[in-house]
């Protein structure tokens, strides 16, 4: 049977009774592990740095460093946790979502409300982990055969990629190299902020596209920096037009 990953949780509140209540409620939620508690914002930030929690249950009204400042600092980190505010005041809701809080619970926190908030936090944490995995799987360079050598090519130096049966042609300036991969695999593993697929058989580096043009009959082309025209497939047109804000 599939088990949810353990959600490492930090509770931050300056009221001991509020911490006790959250500890009790958390103890009834499966796959949630309490890794620490803090009674002020400064301690919370130190603990978050050392414990790397997945979820922070965070009060807002605290002396010195309040919950909003804690949330902003956590969100600026490399691996920000999901944040659920638990507060006695309802006037901070809009500000809470400005710092990407996944939920905003009013005290006294109920079991049902906390369960829903934890479910939302799981969704956010899972999405962050998938993105981190995808980024770790990104290709930054290729080693390709060229005559009797193996040549290293940085992904950022590739101008365009064209499918040629079982091979991909990597164009780097005036030179081209053959790589035994599929275009689908390259689309998945190249940085989407740098490359865009314009046709079922062609990918292009985004900043290599000089302009877009159409032939008056509904066919669009990407005009590349070297003057070449690449026909844009219908299923890719909306994404390519978005480059021009259209």
Summarize pLDDT for 189-211 with one digit per residue, the tens: 888 889 999 999 999 999 999 99
Residue 2 forms part of a structural domain:
no
Residue identified by tokens 């914002």 is 41
Q: Let me know whether 14 and 116 are in one domain.
A: yes
The verdict on residue 223 lying in a domain is: yes
Other C-beta atoms closer than 10 Å to the C-beta of 11 total 26
Query: Per the domain annotation, does 162 fall within a domain?
Result: yes
For residue 1, being part of any structural domain is answered with: no
Per-residue model confidence (pLDDT) at position 88: 87
Measured CA distances, 84 to 10, 11, 25, 106 (Å):
10, 10, 14, 11
Contacts of 215 (CB under 8 A, 6+ apart): 221
DSSP letter at 113 equals H
Same structural domain, 90 and 121: yes
Q: Are 130 and 22 members of one domain? A: yes
Nearest one of 33, 35, 34, 95 to 67, comparing CA atoms: 95
Q: What does the pLDDT read at residue 184?
A: 86
Q: What is the pLDDT of residue 123?
A: 87
* pLDDT (0 to 100) of residue 125: 84
The confidence score (pLDDT) of residue 210 equals 95
Q: In terms of domains, do 77 and 148 share one?
A: no
Please answer whether residues 87 and 59 qualify as being in contact, where contact means their C-beta atoms are separated by less than 8 angstroms. yes
**Tally of domains within the chain:** 2
Rounded CA separation 235/197 (Å): 10
Report, as ranges of residue numbers, the positions in the chain whose pLDDT lies below 50. 1-2
Residue entry with tokens 């909003």: 68
**Domain extent for 36:** 7-136
CA dihedral 149, 154, 155, 161 (to 10 degrees): -40
Which residue among 104, 121, 136 closes a domain? Answer: 136
Query: Distance between terminal CA atoms of the chain?
Result: 47
Domain C-terminal end among 73, 107, 136? 136
Listed residues 136, 166, 201: the one ending a domain? 136
Residues 156 and 227 in one domain: yes
What is the reported pLDDT for 96? 61
In tens, the pLDDT along 14-32 reads: 999 999 999 999 999 998 9
Collapsing DSSP to helix, strand or coil, 233 comes out as coil
The pLDDT value recorded for residue 1 is 39
- Which pLDDT score, from 0 to 100, does residue 140 have? 86
CB-CB contact of 9 with 34 (8 Å): yes
Q: Check: CB of residue 232 under 8 Å from CB of residue 222.
A: yes
Strand blocks (E) in 81-219: 82-87, 103-106, 141-146, 149-154, 160-164, 167-172, 175-179, 195-199, 202-205, 209-214
Q: Is the pTM of this model over 0.75?
A: no
Q: What's the pLDDT at 76?
A: 83
């Amino acid at each position: 049977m599939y088990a949810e990953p353990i959600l490492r949780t930090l509770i931050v509140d300056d009221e001991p009774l509020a911490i006790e209540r959250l500890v009790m409620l958390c103890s009834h939620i499966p796959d949630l592990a309490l890794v620490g508690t803090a009674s002020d914002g400064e301690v919370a930030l130190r603990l978050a740095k050392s414990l790397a929690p997945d979820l922070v249950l965070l009060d807002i009204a605290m002396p010195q460093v309040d919950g909003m400042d804690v949330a902003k600092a956590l969100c600026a980190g490399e691996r920000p946790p999901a944040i659920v505010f638990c507060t006695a005041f309802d006037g901070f809701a809009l500000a809470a979502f400005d710092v990407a809080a996944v939920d905003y619970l009013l005290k006294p926190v109920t079991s049902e409300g906390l369960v829903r908030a934890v479910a939302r936090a799981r969704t956010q944490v899972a999405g962050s982990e998938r993105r981190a995995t995808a980024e770790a799987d990104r290709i930054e360079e290729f080693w390709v055969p060229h005559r009797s050598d193996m040549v290293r090519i940085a992904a950022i130096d590739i101008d365009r990629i064209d499918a040629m049966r079982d091979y991909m042609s990597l164009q780097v300036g005036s030179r081209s190299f053959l790589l035994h991969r599929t275009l689908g695999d390259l689309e998945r593993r190249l940085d989407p902020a740098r490359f865009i697929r314009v046709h079922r058989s062609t990918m292009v580096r985004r900043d290599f596209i000089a302009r877009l043009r159409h032939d008056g009959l509904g066919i669009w082309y990407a005009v590349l920096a070297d003057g070449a025209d690449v026909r844009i497939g219908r299923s890719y047109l909306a994404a390519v037009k978005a480059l021009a804000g259209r």
